Amino acid sequence: MLRERLSIYLSGLWHRKQHEQHWSTDSRFLGAVSVLILLLFYLDGVVESFKEPKGKARASQYQTFIRNFYKFVSKRILAWGYLFDGPGSIQRAYRVSGGAPFEILAPDTRMVFVSSPEDIKELDRVPDDVLSLNGAAKHMLQPVYTMNGFNWFDRRGVEGVGFVRTLRSLLTQNLPLLLPDLSRLARVRWAELLEKKGTLRDGAIHAPVYPMMLDLVVLMNARSLFGEDLIKDTRFMTSALSYVEETLLTAEIVKLLPRFLAPAVGGFLGWALRSHKTFFQSLIPATEQHIQETERKSLGHTVPRRADCIQWIIDTAPKQNPWPAERVIYELMAIWFGSVHILSTTIVYAIHDLCLHPEYVKPLRQELETCYKEFERTGGRDAGGALPLLDSFLKESARLTPVDSMSIRRCALQPYSLSTGTHSLEVGDWACAPSGAINLSATYYTSPDEFSGFSFVPPSRVPDDGWWKKRDGSSTSSSSLPMQSTPSSLTDVDSSWLMWGTGRMACPGRHYATAFMKTVVAQLLLDYDFKLAEPGSKRWISWRVAKIPKPWTKVLFVPRNRECIY
């Protein structure tokens, strides 16, 4: 009963209308849970405030209480404020810091931000058993409650890092094999979604673009990760999306609870919200089949050729001690979680930007009509097929509306002092970089606050056929567009471009992610004219460092006759 209620509440978050009958009861239920969490967290802090500061002379109990309580209240207000305006808090602290490290508190973590190229390099150099990306991911996702009980290692490489090779090399190399299929899925599914979820009014289809994009990304990403067969399994596909939403919800609740309550509440939520179990169990038969085929192949039998991540993880797992199906699935669950939300959100902001800057549509379509075939053929990896104008547009969109304002998250597994000597990290603290604030820095960007969609391409590649007009009408020459002094690509990794992290651990899925986003945006651009229903309205909600698109923001789609490019 309770399990059912939680599921209803969860889906009600995204599909309010469909569950109107449950909404008011569930709002009260959510309200009660939130008040309980706040109260418990408050009590946890009060208990903390009674503890004596180490190494200091024992003051009277009363003075100690007042001092600690005051410190506790002011820190907690700031820490809880961070939850609702993380990007703003980081931006303000970055401006004040003048490039030096600075500290921000969240209710559950202390974070030390570094932003200079030297400090960023230092984070990359520190060994994983001191500052750990896995440790930070583990804290963020609470896998022990959300991933069918699997608890990741804090340190990388304890069982090999096959998935990094899987994504960086095999997935990237196989893009030419995947892209035609992904393009087809994007076209067909988007048309279906518009029919199902859109409302036809005055010749345009009014569509809630974020939930629809999640649906599309789940389908396309499942095709790449799990192959063609599983995407036909409706139960699996439903759990694939709910698993991401339920993981986010469970992890947030567990992180905000007093530590002593986390195992009980996390365990309960893991039991009540079952998508991770359905997702896990549905993957077992397909993964076992892949493993058997791999064994048969090694004995010289002929087996079907599989082009999906299940196969590539099996191929890159440690050879001496091959992984059972369960272990392969845990890798897939982590990759799945890390890719669905960030891809759909980044694409949604790119669609919003196309609506807000419609002058870019014509040159982008021209590029697609001449180069899209080459993009598919090469996987977007060589100059001809890289779609440089779309690449730059996506980069500019992600620069000004990054989904995450933080990058290079590293959790301290041992105490560590930054070489600047200014900040020390205790076990459990995070070191990280203020990527969103760096994106707006005049040190790195010519016109940091202005949207300039082609600013990353060489000036000679920018069309100059009068497509662009300055907002005040004073110029129609694209040579007056703000341009970066050095051209660059979306997939580049640099201390001024931290979308993908840095160094050794920079996102191994970034070539795939870029090709994926280009495929979706290209298919929509070729098939539809679109504009925002309410261009002036706020388009996102902040939670911690994430900007989450509002699910009810509508885009108006008008089908167009596309130039045939196949």
Is residue 314 near ligand HEM by the rule CB under 6 A?
no
Q: Which is nearer to ligand HEM, 389 or 499 (CB)?
A: 499
How far from chain centre, in Å, is Cα 303? 36
Kindly report each contact of residues 416-420 with a partner whose C-beta sits within 8 Å and lies 24 or more positions away, as own/partner: 416/126, 416/130, 416/131, 418/101, 418/112, 418/114, 418/119, 418/122, 419/122, 420/100, 420/101, 420/119
Q: Is 329 in the site for ligand HEM (CB under 6 A)?
A: no
How far is the CA of 117 from the CAs of 20, 92, 366, 438, 492, in angstroms? Answer: 51, 20, 38, 11, 15
Range 151-181 burial, b when 16+ CB lie within 10 A, else e = ebebebeeeebbbbbbbbebbbebbbebbeb
DSSP 328: H
- The reply to whether 506 sits near ligand HEM by the rule CB under 6 A is yes
Decide: is 160 part of the binding site for ligand HEM (CB under 6 A): no
Q: Which is nearer to ligand HEM, 6 or 522 (CB)?
A: 522
Pick from 111, 131, 317, 343: which binds ligand HEM (CB under 6 A)? Answer: 343
State yes or no: residue 412 binds ligand HEM (CB under 6 A): no
Per CB under 6 A, the list member of 209, 509, 545, 546 interacting with ligand HEM is 509
432 is in an annotated binding site: no
**What is the 8-class DSSP label of residue 156?**
T
Judged by CB under 6 A, does residue 339 bind ligand HEM? Answer: yes
Report which secondary-structure segment, H or E, holds 292: helix 275-298
Q: Which is nearer to ligand HEM, 312 or 468 (CB)?
A: 312
- Residue 112 binds ligand HEM (CB under 6 A): no
Answer for which of 190, 279, 393, 500 binds ligand HEM (CB under 6 A) is 500
Segment near ligand HEM (CB under 6 A); pick from 33-41, 105-113, 163-171, 527-535: 163-171
Nearest to 431 by CA among 505, 362, 364: 505
The three-state secondary structure class of 427 is coil
Question: How far is C-alpha 506 from the geometric centre of its chain's CA atoms?
Answer: 14
Cβ-proximal residues to 295 (8 Å cutoff; 6+ apart), any chain = none
Nearer to ligand HEM, 176 or 258 (CB): 176
Binding residue (CB under 6 A) for ligand HEM from 87, 198, 363, 508: 508
Nearest residue (CB) to ligand HEM, 81 versus 338: 338
Query: By C-beta, is 194 or 408 nearer to ligand HEM?
Result: 408
Contact pick of 392, 502, 519, 523 for ligand HEM (by CB under 6 A) = 502
- Residue 134 CA to residue 155 CA, distance in Å, equals 6
Nearest to 247 by CA among 132, 137, 167, 328: 137
**Applying CB under 6 A, does 499 fall inside the site for ligand HEM?**
yes
Enumerate binding residues for ligand HEM (CB under 6 A).
133, 156, 163-164, 167, 335, 338-339, 342-343, 346, 407-409, 499-502, 505-509, 512-513
| Binding-site residue ranges for heme | 507
